[in-house]
Structure 1
């Protein structure tokens, strides 16, 4: 968008705009450019006094103007790729002149001035960051990864080598667990003779990860209604916490969420049972994996919280959106805050293809008529809301739109399960689920009911056994 000189003159200084006098020293201007590049980017108008808003112009001092133009290259480390333009104007003395407009892009890298000072734009100020905040910004931008930092006080004895072996088998690594940890991904390094066990190693392979990261866990809270209430009006129905290694947390969380998702099965016009769900299964999995995989583990004061309301699921994850990811580009932009954790989960098929998950979620939600996930940052917590495909209790969707009693539906489902068992006694729950278009948790309930009523019985183990239909 192009502005007029008067519009720029009247524009208030803020997060993404600043005015500077032509007399500003390049070293001082570098601080503002660095701050904007490290934050959200912005625009700097040189030649307008930031104190009086008097239009000075830049033509009168060509030598100094050249120093200003070289500032992003000579005084910023690394160089910042700004774009510039000259806007014609009439200065305060009535002479034809120009204003220099510097457009500063938001950068995926961390930038400093020549003195190795890092600045961050906060409102209309360029704030110098202390060491801890600079380190956090390096994590956020992927200049460094917190998952590579040593887990304080962790030793080799805290690593579950059987878990390492299981992962090695999955990726086809043929050496010993110790060789894998030492030679790959920096899971185990040495400072002198002292082993340094990385954060990622403990989170993925630790015997008890919560001994080192107590809040590296997932908490599920279910509320009655559409609002979160406290005190006497507290409306919490369920409150469950999932701990353990990252893979365990994800598996337990997804399995539990599946028990809380409403679904309605009905007979389609093709004679097969179909199921409508509040949330697509892929969406449940992807949101859970994203939260656990991409959370900021350097934030130790809170856990991931998944809140279920009558009309939505809210995933609250510690950490800002990482790197170049923004709420307006999240659907098609990928950036791993924890690339080693992401690669591990990809081996277990939880990360299908880097960068495609959010787009697929949006497509699946659109297919059932619900809107895309909504993201917003509250302090240091990223909140992602997924809206439900709200289903009325007892809802049936048939071609004739006629409701059938639930007892009839269950009776039909039992008959179909019996036919499938007759055809293949060793059939699994997942196969029954696929053939019937019924969720696996619903199949499990139907099979249990049939066993309890003596209709069928299980012969042998869950994996190697088979179903037998009773004669009575």
Structure 2
């Protein structure tokens, strides 16, 4: 993608961008290059002050410029394959000059500086790794580049050139589609004059990606209630699969999920209609993007599964957390298992800035009084759970946040306790009372009542005896005895 000098000046320093003066010391520059190569790659603009954004240029100091260009070879171990690019500019002194852009790829190898120190890019900083982190990163890099492996039996005819051209237009690439595939990202390489098409190429630009990766798709399953039941009690009410290229999967999945999210519109105290949602739009999109972008595509036995319950969404993604990303640092640490796919999605604005998505999700959920996403590795599947903000249509303020694994500690617990007491009182008066009757007398929707009853059953406060029609309720505990 071609940048103008003004676009570069306006860029915010972060995970994949930094700017430095031409006077930067080679060993300091090596630290940034190593950190970016070990993480998600990036770009360094040399000739622009990082403190004042003053345009200095690089042509006035040819000797130091040559030292800068030698840094990836002489100060990085092993050397980093950096691509230089020059952007014409007028410097602060009014002279015709140039700024050097150093394009640093995400590397499949572990890189260190001359002092054998390994660094990792975290936001706009380069953090030195501990020995254990360094060892873990070395292991993880071995599995990172499945996207670069050859999609066996795939040929150039399997590539949708219109999809390639659409992406080229997006990034401002001016050559032909075939030149782009051959000259960038290793999408197409030649072995004994035979074209080899990469997995990333098929997943991003393939005519029919599922021909080569049948389970590279997203499956949405919606359940009635808060539990996943099987057999005669199976409670699946929707089961939809989304396939196609990665961009199509994301677009179709997000669009469909939006139709399943419950909303509550009401007239606020200021006389303006307001809408509350179970899940913020950004959270829905970010969780889908993360699942598709960071899944381990070498695991071919299952697809991404998104499971919607009355009180939560569960995203089940093949593969563990990548790199040195852990549940305790996931808000501020980033590592792309599939950096080419991540870069592609960034061009389509699905990845705003590497590393910001999880932190923003946590902030948006916290603003609603909902806990941050919970991550749990089960075998080779990473499960991420997002709790819903349960909407009580009988109230305009203070909605109770409920999640089946989060009982008893949320805001609104006093109001919830009062609601539970009323439900138990109604059941005590009439054990055969229907859910619709309970909802009507408590002035809430039937769906909200079903969620509350499921919670009381899960907490062993009540139980249902017999079928839905003809059965009755039994009270096991008073609400003052509910387990905390």
Q: Which TM-score band applies after superposition, normalised by the shorter structure?
A: 0.5 to 0.7
106, 117, 131: which one pairs with 2:133? 106
What's 1:226 paired with?
A: 226
Q: Is the 8 A contact 1:81 1:105 kept in 2?
A: no
Q: Is the 8 A contact 2:158 2:202 kept in 1?
A: yes
Gaps of 5+ in 2: 1-109, 119-129, 399-484
1:199-253: CA deviations, max 9, x gaps?
0000000000000000000000001111111111111010000000000000000
Please tell me whether Structure 1 or Structure 2 has the larger radius of gyration of its CA atoms: 1
What's 1:397 paired with?
A: 396
Q: Is the 8 A contact 1:224 1:236 kept in 2?
A: yes
TM-score (norm 2): 0.55
The offset of 1:105, in angstroms, is 1.9
Pairwise CA RMSD: 2.1
Q: Measured at CA, do residues 198 and 230 of structure 1 come closer, stay the same or move farther in structure 2, by a change above 3 Å?
A: same
Q: Is the 8 A contact 2:295 2:337 kept in 1?
A: yes
Q: Measured at CA, do residues 267 and 165 of structure 1 come closer, stay the same or move farther in structure 2, by a change above 3 Å?
A: same
The offset of 1:396, in angstroms, is 4.2
Q: Is the 8 A contact 1:108 1:323 kept in 2?
A: no
Q: Is the 8 A contact 1:294 1:336 kept in 2?
A: yes
What's 1:364 paired with?
A: 364
Q: Distance in 1 between matches of 2:260 and 2:394?
A: 17
TM-score (norm 1): 0.56
After TM superposition, which residue ranges in structure 1, 4 or more long, deviate above 4 angstroms? 77-82, 108-111
Q: Secondary structure of 1:107's partner?
A: helix
How many residue pairs get aligned? The number is 275
The offset of 1:320, in angstroms, is 0.7
Q: Measured at CA, do residues 290 and 342 of structure 1 come closer, stay the same or move farther in structure 2, by a change above 3 Å?
A: same
The offset of 1:391, in angstroms, is 1.2
What's 2:290 paired with?
A: 290
> Matches of residues 73-92 of structure 1 in structure 2 within 5 Å?
none
The offset of 1:269, in angstroms, is 2.2
> Matches of residues 242-253 of structure 1 in structure 2 within 5 Å?
242-253=242-253
1:151-186: CA deviations, max 9, x gaps?
011000000000001110111111100000001111
> Matches of residues 116-265 of structure 1 in structure 2 within 5 Å?
137-140=140-143, 142=144, 145-265=145-265
Q: Distance in 1 between matches of 2:142 and 2:207?
A: 26
> Matches of residues 311-460 of structure 1 in structure 2 within 5 Å?
311-392=311-392, 394-397=393-396
Q: Is the 8 A contact 1:267 1:398 kept in 2?
A: no
Q: Distance in 2 between matches of 1:190 and 1:367?
A: 52
